[in-house]
């Protein structure tokens, strides 16, 4: 086939994709911006990016179009990591892909790696150049080569896309600071405090203790600029079509480097309107819907992952609808926080209620599930419900923070507070999974029994996370039980931010202990491997399987069930801190997915133990 006919076939394929979405995309765009000029510019650029897409990526697009649920299978397993802490550079990560595959990982999330100013980056979330990699990590070519190497091994690559703001060092921000009106219009600039003060009446503060207010004064200009997060992160003005278009070009540029998943950072914040709280406004959903369609037209193999750290009723709308979808995936933030609450109070009622809410959502919705990530843990729990059970919000948050920092008598957890407000007493928590489970304390004290209990708790929590519907994601280091890294306090750039306690360097020397029986590394790694293999082999773990919470009759034991066709799997998780018993329906017979042991009737579920059971024989009422 000639190059001319290849080009013609590609253009025909592109036209078909465009045709499916053109009317809706144009209607939404013109409703938001009413600019034919900018619309035509966007259309021309989209086609250019589509034609520039490499043949290998086009083939991947075609394969994924034929199997749109490719990312929802039971075999999906994610891992998130910092390039510098894990392997130094992007080339270093590529050299470590054998280890990543050894971990059974096929979805790799690289934490922010685009150009950002040292000491004023919020961990890389203040981007100065969306098309340049931080020099210490490598080059854009290195990223492209890593993506290609991942694809050859069946690994999908995820990258953060920071849409809400840029760094104050971004080229637009520098020109805006020089007084160029065109670039000031890409942000929110004000000549006096009058309008910012109007915003402040209704817009909550994200970091009231460390970055109070939503605006920063620029003395050299005698002007104010909107900065929702930190003073060096300038909010973009998506009322301006130039901003939307240019950010979509950055999105498509990254997609053409081979990125498979774009994590949209802080997505609820991207539209600002005076007189509102500037959160979750309807225009945000319009923008995400347009972004979804642009991706399906230009690079249909790409997934959108939304970071929506909100209460559950604010999260689900970012999936859009089945007919008009927005994000492909969202983080299951509330379940993560509720899991640790449950570990601390040994009462599963709130977690069970969370499972009931999730089971009521459409099966097309895909969540990313995790125990720990790069960020702190905020205790955004359902306090209306908790207060009915006697948990009052302020003292309960204090209890959780005291428990996980090890101040509460009997606690085995270790960690530090983040963004503590000394006036209100509110704070968030930082620490690794292993340290929160007691590995750090037991190791420091040489407590063999304490270590055994800590490892059991760690395995049970991972078993629960892996049982959930969606994609399980490990935080790099959790697979070998890495504990808190307190050396961040020796680095002036990191010392003020306690989140670096769980962002420490990956200890490669510990991986040599994976094969040494009885070591922390061997116990955790092998336990995770057994769980991951069992999960991958059972279709009932696919994201589309039916999922529901079970009534166990015990507030210390959580029961869950997954069903796909005639396949039925149950999980029982003992959070109580003492031995319990579970009861299986008369006449039913079950197999332990991890041991092969057959169970029926009444069974012991020991302290921090769990079962994954597969139905072998149905009872009369099944």
> Phi and psi at residue 76, in whole multiples of 5°?
-75, 135
Q: Which of 168, 260, 307, 326 is catalytic?
A: 307
Checking if the pLDDT of 423 tops 70, the result is: no
- Among 203, 235, 267, the domain-final residue is 235
Per-residue model confidence (pLDDT) at position 39:
98
Per-residue model confidence (pLDDT) at position 178:
97
Q: Is residue 552 part of a domain?
A: yes
Q: Which of 115, 122, 265, 478 is catalytic?
A: 265
Maximum separation of any 2 CA atoms in the chain, in Å: 79
Checking if the pLDDT of 622 tops 70, the result is: no
Q: Is residue 180 part of a domain?
A: yes
Per-residue model confidence (pLDDT) at position 4:
76
> Phi and psi at residue 105, in whole multiples of 5°?
-80, 130
Say if pTM beats, i.e. exceeds, 0.85.
yes
Q: Are 125 and 162 in contact (CB under 8 A)?
A: yes
Q: Is residue 256 part of a domain?
A: no
CATH number (domain holding residue 226): 3.90.400.10
Q: Domains in the chain: how many in total? A: 2
Q: What whole-number distance in Å separates Cα of residue 622 and Cα of residue 585?
A: 9
Q: Is residue 548 part of a domain?
A: yes
Q: Give the model confidence (pLDDT) of 478-490 as tens digits.
A: 999 999 999 999 9
Q: Are 227 and 214 in contact (CB under 8 A)?
A: yes
Q: Is residue 561 part of a domain?
A: yes
Q: What whole-number distance in Å separates Cα of residue 164 and Cα of residue 227?
A: 10
Q: Give the model confidence (pLDDT) of 204-262 as tens digits.
A: 998 887 889 999 999 999 999 999 999 999 999 999 999 999 999 999 999 999 999 99
CATH number (domain holding residue 552): 2.60.40.1180
Mean pLDDT of all residues belonging to the chain? 95
Q: Give the model confidence (pLDDT) of 255-289 as tens digits.
A: 999 999 999 999 999 999 999 999 999 999 999 99
Q: Is residue 66 part of a domain?
A: no
Active site residue 265: yes
CA distances from 374 to 110, 124, 309 (A): 11, 12, 14
Checking if the pLDDT of 621 tops 60, the result is: no
Q: Percentage of the chain with pLDDT > 70?
A: 99
Q: Give the model confidence (pLDDT) of 291-340 as tens digits.
A: 999 999 999 999 999 998 876 667 889 999 989 999 999 999 899 999 99
- Among 218, 235, 252, the domain-final residue is 235
Average pLDDT over residues 172-196: 97
Average pLDDT over residues 171-192: 97
> Phi and psi at residue 233, in whole multiples of 5°?
-115, 105
- Among 235, 257, 273, the domain-final residue is 235
CA distances from 330 to 10, 126, 265, 470 (A): 32, 22, 11, 10
Q: Is residue 559 part of a domain?
A: yes
Per-residue model confidence (pLDDT) at position 313:
67
* Residue scoring higher pLDDT (64 or 314): 64
Q: Percentage of the chain with pLDDT > 90?
A: 90
Range of the domain at 588: 542-617
Active site residue 307: yes
| DSSP strands (E only) in 323-446 | 329-331, 366-369, 416-418, 428-430
């Amino acid at each position: 086939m000639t190059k001319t006919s290849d080009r013609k076939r590609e253009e025909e394929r592109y036209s078909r994709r465009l045709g499916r979405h053109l009317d809706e995309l144009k209607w939404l765009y013109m409703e938001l911006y009413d600019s034919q000029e900018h619309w035509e510019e966007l259309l021309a650029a989209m086609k250019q990016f589509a034609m520039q897409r490499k043949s290998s990526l086009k083939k991947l697009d075609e394969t994924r179009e034929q199997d749109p649920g490719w990312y929802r299978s039971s075999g999906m397993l994610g891992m998130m990591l910092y390039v510098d802490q894990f392997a130094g550079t992007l080339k270093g990560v590529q050299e470590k892909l054998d280890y990543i595959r050894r971990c059974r990982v096929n979805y790799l999330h690289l934490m922010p790696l685009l150009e950002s100013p040292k000491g004023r980056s919020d961990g890389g979330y203040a981007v100065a150049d969306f098309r340049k990699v931080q020099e210490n990590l490598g080059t854009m070519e290195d990223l492209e080569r890593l993506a290609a190497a991942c694809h050859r091994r069946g690994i999908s690559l995820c990258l953060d896309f920071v849409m809400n703001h840029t760094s104050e060092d971004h080229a637009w921000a520098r020109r805006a600071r020089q007084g160029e009106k065109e670039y000031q219009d890409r942000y929110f600039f004000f000549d006096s405090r009058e309008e910012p003060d109007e915003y402040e009446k209704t817009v909550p503060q994200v970091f009231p203790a460390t970055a109070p207010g939503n605006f920063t004064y620029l003395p050299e200009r005698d002007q104010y600029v909107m900065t929702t997060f930190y003073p060096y992160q300038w909010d973009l003005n998506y009322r301006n079509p130039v901003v939307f278009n240019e950010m979509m070009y950055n999105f498509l540029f990254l997609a053409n480097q081979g990125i498979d998943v774009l994590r949209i950072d802080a997505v609820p914040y991207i539209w600002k309107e005076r007189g509102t709280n500037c959160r979750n406004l309807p225009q945000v959903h319009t923008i995400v819907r347009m972004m979804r369609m642009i991706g399906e037209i230009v690079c249909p193999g790409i997934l959108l992952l939304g970071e929506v750290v909100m209460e559950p009723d604010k999260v689900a709308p970012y999936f859009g609808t089945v007919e008009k979808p927005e994000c492909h995936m969202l983080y299951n933030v509330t379940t993560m926080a509720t899991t640790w609450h449950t570990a601390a109070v040994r009462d599963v009622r709130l977690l069970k209620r969370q499972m009931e809410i999730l089971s009521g959502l459409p099966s097309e919705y895909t969540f990313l599930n995790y125990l720990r990530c790069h960020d702190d843990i905020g205790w955004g729990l359902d306090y209306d419900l908790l207060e009915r059970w006697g948990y009052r919000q302020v003292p309960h948050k204090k209890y959780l923070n005291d428990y996980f920092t090890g101040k509460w008598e009997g606690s085995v957890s270790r960690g530090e507070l983040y963004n503590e407000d000394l006036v209100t007493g509110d704070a968030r928590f930082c620490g690794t999974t292993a340290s929160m489970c007691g590995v750090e304390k037991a190791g420091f004290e040489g407590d063999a029994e304490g270590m055994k209990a800590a490892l059991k708790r760690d395995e049970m929590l991972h078993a629960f996370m892996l049982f959930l519907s969606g994609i399980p994601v490990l935080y790099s280091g959790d697979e070998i039980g890495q504990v808190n890294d307190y050396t961040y306090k020796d680095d002036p750039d990191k010392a003020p931010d306690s989140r670096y306690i769980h962002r420490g360097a990956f200890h490669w020397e510990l991986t040599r202990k994976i094969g040494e029986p009885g070591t922390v590394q061997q116990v955790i790694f092998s336990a995770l491997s057994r769980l991951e293999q069992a999960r991958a082999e059972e279709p009932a773990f696919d994201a589309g399987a039916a999922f529901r919470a079970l009534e166990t009759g015990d507030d210390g034991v959580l029961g869950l069930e997954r069903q796909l066709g005639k396949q039925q799997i149950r999980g029982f998780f003992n959070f109580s801190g003492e031995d319990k018993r579970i009861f299986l329906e008369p006449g039913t017979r079950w197999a332990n997915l991890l041991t092969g042991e057959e169970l029926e009737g009444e069974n012991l579920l020991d302290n921090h133990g769990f079962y994954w059971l597969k139905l072998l024989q149905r009872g009369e009422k099944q």
